[in-house]
Amino acid sequence: MILVKDVKNTHETLGELNRLIMAEDCKILNMVPSSLSDPFIDICYFLECDDDAAKRAIEAIKKFGFSKSVTIIEIPSDDLALAPFFPLIVGGRRAVIMREPMYNGLFKGFRKRLGIGATKVFLRLVGIDAGKEAYESLSNIVKNLDVVNALKTLFMIGQSFGFCFLESLKVEDNAIIVSLIENWEGATMRNEYSSPQCFFTKGIIEGFLEAMTGEQWDAEEVECLAMGSNRCTFIIQRKP
């Protein structure tokens, strides 16, 4: 893997750079840019070649002026292919990718250490704070939307980040009914409980709507993967 820094971000430059690397008997398996829109970017190349070919490619890149800084990135295992860019930026803000084993440990760890009762209260309150923060970060996008479409936007963004899949969102009898497929929270405890367990998700919904409307809301979970349902469904209403 080599890292090429400060490359002019044009189709012509990137095309010439790729041809130059391949001309040194290096097969490009993948290339990951640090940005899609910045005028100058760093590029991480995953190559299939021997060390001598990689060194020739580096010298050629420097010789022809594509970049003044090209380095070989050492990886601790041949089974890993990791981009070195930090931090990860999504929508102009830092993001962190958390794989299932880690967030599984979080949700189950809270229950193990605190018990169900305390976990229910704790995760909901933390979720409310997170939901308020989510609204603030999305306020420019949702400020002119009604509650239903603002919630839909929240869940569709969550879907793009892998939290859940929005199956349906509808209004019935002054309540908003949201059904989520594979909600990340419930999926960690699939079929392990006899009652709904998505306390953090409940809090996010309530906090988001409170920040948006200035009113108190209740998001009651009536279906949950943790209790054997096929989805996680919330009935969302203003509190009297």
User: Is there a domain that residue 94 lies in?
Assistant: no
User: Is there a domain that residue 34 lies in?
Assistant: yes
Q: Do residues 63 and 169 share a domain?
A: no
Q: Do residues 53 and 104 share a domain?
A: no
Domain hosting 216: range is 100-238
Q: Do residues 78 and 110 share a domain?
A: no
CATH number for 209: 3.30.1380.20
**φ and ψ at 94, to 5 degrees?**
-65, 140
Q: Do residues 174 and 118 share a domain?
A: yes
SS3 assignment, position 41:
strand
Q: Give me the number of domains the chain comprises.
A: 2
Q: Do residues 162 and 76 share a domain?
A: no
What is the tens place of the pLDDT at every residue in 38-64?
899 999 999 999 999 999 999 999 999
Question: Is 0.85 topped by the overall pTM?
Answer: no
The DSSP bridge partners found for residue 238 are 217
User: Is there a domain that residue 65 lies in?
Assistant: yes
Got the DSSP string for 148-210? HHHHHHHHHHHHHTTS-EEEEEEEETTEEEEEEES-HHHHTTTT--SS---HHHHHHHHHHHH
User: Per-residue b/e over 59-87, b at no fewer than 16 CB within 10 Å?
Assistant: ebbeeeebbeebeeeeeeeeeeeebebee
User: Is there a domain that residue 115 lies in?
Assistant: yes
Give strand ranges (E) for the chain. Answer: 2-8, 27-33, 40-48, 70-72, 88-90, 93-95, 165-172, 175-181, 217-223, 232-238
What pLDDT is stored for residue 150 in this prediction?
97
- Distance CA(49)–CA(31), nearest Å, equals 15
User: Is there a domain that residue 226 lies in?
Assistant: yes
Given a contact cutoff of 8 angstroms between Cβ atoms, the answer to whether 217 and 237 are in contact is yes
- pLDDT-derived band at 161, boundaries 50, 70, 90: very high
What pLDDT is stored for residue 61 in this prediction?
94
Residue labelled with tokens 């750079």: 17
Instruction: Take residue 64 and report the two structure tokens written for it.
Output: 């022809």
Q: Which amino acid is at 101?
A: P
Task: Answer whether residue 85 shows pLDDT above 90.
Answer: no
Q: Do residues 204 and 179 share a domain?
A: yes
Task: Answer whether residue 94 shows pLDDT above 90.
Answer: no
| Average pLDDT for 198-220 | 98
Q: Do residues 31 and 122 share a domain?
A: no
CATH number for 54: 3.30.70.260
Q: Do residues 191 and 232 share a domain?
A: yes
Q: Do residues 34 and 127 share a domain?
A: no
Q: Do residues 193 and 137 share a domain?
A: yes
- What mean pLDDT, rounded, does the chain reach? 94
Q: Do residues 157 and 223 share a domain?
A: yes
